[in-house]
């Protein structure tokens, strides 16, 4: 049975990704910084007939927590097939280039950028042992410099400098990681799940969590001829890579 780890997965998009991967036959580790909430999420999936799910306590902003999670997983499995770096935060509602505080930049980057780097480094050893390892970094269409560079772009009626710049940094990490692992069986991509109805968006959005999960899991399941080092936002661009 193939294995997957999804971070930030006790609710919202992460939870939907865990559910979909479990339905597709993966044994899924539900990464969650609060073990109790993670256990409740797993119980809900169990009640729906999905027994191939297990909570893994994991705070992406805490090196000790990530190291502990890596050690626990290494004691349970010999290889990891899929890593979905889903954990992310938006930061304060009002974000401006001149008015946002450094502390808020640091708080958001700690999860959206440094957390992904930390988790990837901790679990890449297990991923390297898989025959076709896949990493999906959950990004956003709002991180596109090409699209944001049009200052009158209707996709950006309101801008969020901290959140957008953190995800743009995540995109650059993604392409560099993919370049570093070229010539191996890794496939690594950044994927926007779409404007999704979650707590993250205040329940607003044009996509359900199930639709968002489909977009993410698609790139966890790509074959050896699939893309790597690309950026996809299928809600806004149905075919091909999205502009960086």
Residue 53 CA to residue 55 CA, distance in Å, equals 7
- CA distances from residue 80 to 30, 40, 86, 124, 180 in whole angstroms, order as listed: 13, 24, 16, 9, 19
DSSP 207: B
Structure tokens at 103: 């502390």
**Residue 93 CB burial class (10 angstroms; 0-12, 13-18, ≥19):** exposed
CA 186 to chain centroid = 16
Residues with Cβ < 8 Å from 12, sequence gap 6 or more?
196, 198, 199, 200, 209
Phi, psi for 55 (deg, rounded to 5):
-75, 145
Tokens representing residue 112 in the block: 């959206």
Picking from 40, 170, 54, the residue whose alpha carbon sits closest to that of residue 117 is: 170
**Apex CA 32: angle with CA 193 and CA 20, to 5°?**
45
Respond yes or no: is residue 163 known to be catalytic: yes
φ/ψ bin of 129: left (φ > 0), alpha (ψ from -120 to 50), beta (otherwise): alpha
Catalytic residue among 29, 109, 160, 163: 163
Structure tokens at 114: 């440094």
Find the distance separating the first CA and the last CA of the chain, reported in whole Å.
35
User: Would you please indicate which residues are annotated as catalytic (active-site) residues?
Assistant: 163
């Amino acid at each position: 049975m193939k294995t997957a780890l999804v971070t930030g997965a006790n609710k919202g998009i992460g939870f939907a990704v865990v559910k979909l991967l479990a339905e597709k036959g993966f044994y899924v580790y539900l990464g969650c910084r609060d073990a109790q909430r993670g256990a409740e999420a797993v119980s809900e999936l169990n009640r729906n007939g999905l027994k191939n799910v297990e909570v893994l306590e994991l705070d992406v902003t805490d090196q000790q927590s990530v190291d502990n999670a890596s050690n626990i997983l290494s004691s349970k499995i010999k290889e990891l097939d899929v890593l979905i770096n889903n954990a992310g935060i938006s930061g304060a509602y009002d974000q401006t280039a001149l008015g946002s505080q450094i502390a808020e930049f640091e708080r958001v980057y700690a999860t959206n950028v440094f957390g992904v780097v930390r988790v990837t480094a901790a679990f890449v050893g297990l991923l390297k042992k898989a025959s076709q390892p896949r990493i999906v970094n959950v990004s956003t269409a709002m991180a596109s410099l090409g699209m944001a560079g049009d200052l009158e772009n209707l996709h950006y009626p309101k801008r969020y400098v901290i959140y957008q710049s953190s995800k743009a940094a995540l995109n650059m990490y993604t392409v560099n990681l993919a370049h570093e692992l070229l010539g191996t069986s890794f496939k690594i991509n950044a994927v926007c799940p779409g404007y999704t109805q979650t707590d993250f968006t205040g329940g607003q959005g044009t996509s359900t969590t199930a639709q968002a999960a489909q977009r993410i899991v698609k790139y966890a399941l790509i074959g050896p001829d699939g893309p790597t080092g690309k950026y996809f936002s299928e809600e806004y661009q149905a075919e091909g890579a999205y502009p960086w």
